[in-house]
Structure 1
Amino acid sequence: MDLQQLADSFEPMTCIMSVQVFDDGSYGNIRIVCGNNPYVASIESPDNIAFSGMLKNKFIPDSPYEKYIPKDLNFEDACYRCAVLKKPFHTYIHPERYDFWVDMYMMPIAADEGNTYYFAYSQELTAGAISSRMSNVDANVASAVLETCIKLRGTNDFKHTMDEVISDIRDLCEADKVCLILTDAQKRSFSVLSEAASSPERNYPVEKYLRDTYEDFYDIIETWEDTIAGSTCLIIQNENDMKVVSERNPVWCDSLKKVDVHTIVLYPLKYGKATLGYIWALNFDTEKTAQIRATLESTTYFIASEIANQQLMDKLKEISSFDILTGVMNRNAMNQKVDSVIAGTDKLPPQTAVIFVDLNGLKQINDNGGHANGDRLLKQAADILKETFGGSDIYRAGGDEFMVLATEISEKALEEKIKQLRLYQTQPGSVSFSLGYCYSEGEIDIRQAMSTADKLMYKDKQLFYEKYPERKRK
């Protein structure tokens, strides 16, 4: 068979590739035997979208594929399945190493010679994602992805639904353990959002294990991007694959062997250019690799989108609930708390105190020293309240006024904290509080308690200005 003639018969950019197979069933070199003009142009032409992504820009027939792109275990697995197992393959993906999407098709061809097997590889490159191509998947894969999307979009309990999704992924992979880890590159931190295990003995808390076992597991997490090496994911199916990981990341590889991990799926959760976290599956069924890859390539796209949306909502909630200047909760959060207590959805325990606190002399400081000095004093006041009432809800009720909701506190302990606040200096320019509180050891009427504390605070403020008339507001 004239392989060059076969490649030239395709209009899309196409090459003929070969896979060498050893007697033990493992594979060796994967080569690009020949290519048609559009394919060669994708390597050699500066005007082609792929040009800058190539390791070399001169096409040499029968070269190992690694001459042009980094070694990619996912790509190799697809080549092997197509050429040797005679399984056609199609996917539409965005490898991290490229700034474009790849729509690839692999078709086995009847040109095998001894231990060398051949297939045709065609591709089309798109500058951005095309939704119609992303949805062009196997019916079983589409059904699994759609089910995930419906669960995520229809939920009122994000955490519970994500637990269901991760359990579904564990069932798909038939893995010992599947885990979704969220990461924060700026803080160099991680947390486990969801996990699922195949048996009770595998159902250990992953986050606790990682924190107990490693001094800083994020040191390993930040190596995963280089280990994935610009591909869409990392799938380790056998000892040969594990050798590749060992070369790229020996520390992580050794840690996997210590917990008897032989196979692993690792998918980054990407949203735009940001990595939100990873999904991993340990000791999965390698007979289902193709289905796992096809399903997770789409599923992780939607999971990442939902996580990003949830994080945005959490951020907006935080912004709407916290005072930016002082770092304590704002009046909006205070009103929501009071409303929920009145409605009975948030019950206060016995031994509850409502404390109103007002910063003395703030207007004078603003007028004489400028609002920057006033802001500094407000921050100091908030820090003092946080230090004194650590663990309690602290709100900036407005202007120079704060409210503290302290629960499970004895009256003696409360009085001691009030005494501490009164010890602060009363000279101009320093923090000085006027205080009022209402304490209850039984059921509390929060509106009445707030009213009582507020009146007592203003009475205390009146006494302060009688003692220091020079600091009275103008």
Structure 2
Amino acid sequence: MSTDKKIDKRITGGWIDEAMDLLQVPSCIVEMADSRSGRIYRIRYVNSAFCQLTGKHRDFLIGKSFIQAGITEKESGWISAMEAVIEGERVMKGKLYADILGKWIRFSVSPVHMAHECIVSCVDISEEEARRRRLRRANTTNETVIRVIRRLVSEPCFSRAMQGILSDLSEAIHPDRLYVLETDRKTISNTYEWCAPGVKSEIESLQNLSYDEYMLSWEKCLETDTSVVIPDIEELRKQGDIDGYNILKRQNIRNLMSTPLYYQGKLIGFLVADNYEENEMMNTRYLLETVGAFMAMYVANRRLLEQLEFASGKDSLTGVKNRNAMDIYFNQHAGESQLGVLFIDVNGLKYVNDTQGHAEGDRLLQNLAEFLCNYFPRDNIYRSGGDEFVIVTPGTTEEKMRGKTREIKDAMQKESFSFAIGYAVSDHRGIQQAAIRADQRMYQDKREYYQNHPRYR
């Protein structure tokens, strides 16, 4: 009887092996058994296709669980399907990633006539999954590109558009900093910046830097690549670029991607991401390079508008006159006396820009300009710099200027903004000396303000 059982087992086992090999789909029969540690699922039979899929020999696989056989580190997906099939006599299908094999598997688990056993059939769908993920990545990236370009063409205020673009990009690649560097190939300056919460702004330290000193290494990279990509700044140190390494290290940069901004074949700047995250849902390089191409056109257009504005003498943001018009006026009236000069500097503009955004900072400047127009003719008001205004009042006296200064300072108390102010009246020394005295008084007023409001520095 014992011999008959052995013969039956041998015949049955051989028949199953042959039958399994007839299956072209990678398959194995798994049996459920109890052990001290609980239920285990052991491979009982495999076909040649399964051995080829796993890269394992048949003798090695038999009697082992999927973990023991080195097929996967986690059996949860397989186990839940096997349990459902063995206990419920139904077919289960699914998809999972076999981590050790590095393959995506679509599987089907079906019951067999032997108790506590099931057959697992697998198909390697790694290429199909890769295509699907590439398509999803491309779609996600293109959606971000379209959203950014739509903002660029629909937002009338260029500075608000640029800040919005950097914010949109930050949601896609999650960097510490995103910023725009603009250059005339002599100097380079950071003109727009987005920072993640808790990340220090660097925009003030990146102004009018030597292009040759800071950017030639990037330009050399662009001779052989479309972007400057530094996955790990430690590579710079290993390659002997100590200066480049120190510059980035000082800014707490771990990795960096910089895409050039070209307009009509001329390099006009860079769009840069510091400490960005690479992920399978976003093609970071394609995103930055595509957005950068559109951004370059708008940066060039803004420069042209600035040149036209400079020539026209009008500040486009506030509607008052600009620095060029002021310089012309000062030159034409250089030796005149009894010219009142009033210097005004906005308090806390940087704080507003940092905490509420540059768009809110722009609105503050516009509101201040309109406020000043209530007390002086618009043609006498000049925006001389980012947060500075100069007002010229012909044919006046110290007493009148003192009274006018007191009047607008009192009126300022009812406004949402504040400013430092200084005045002077020209004598035989001319308007330039009066401007120096007014500027000194204004900065004294500003120092007193910041002593009382230290957080707005």
TM range (shorter): 0.3 to 0.5
Which has the greater radius of gyration? 2
TM-score by length of 1: 0.40
TM-score by length of 2: 0.41
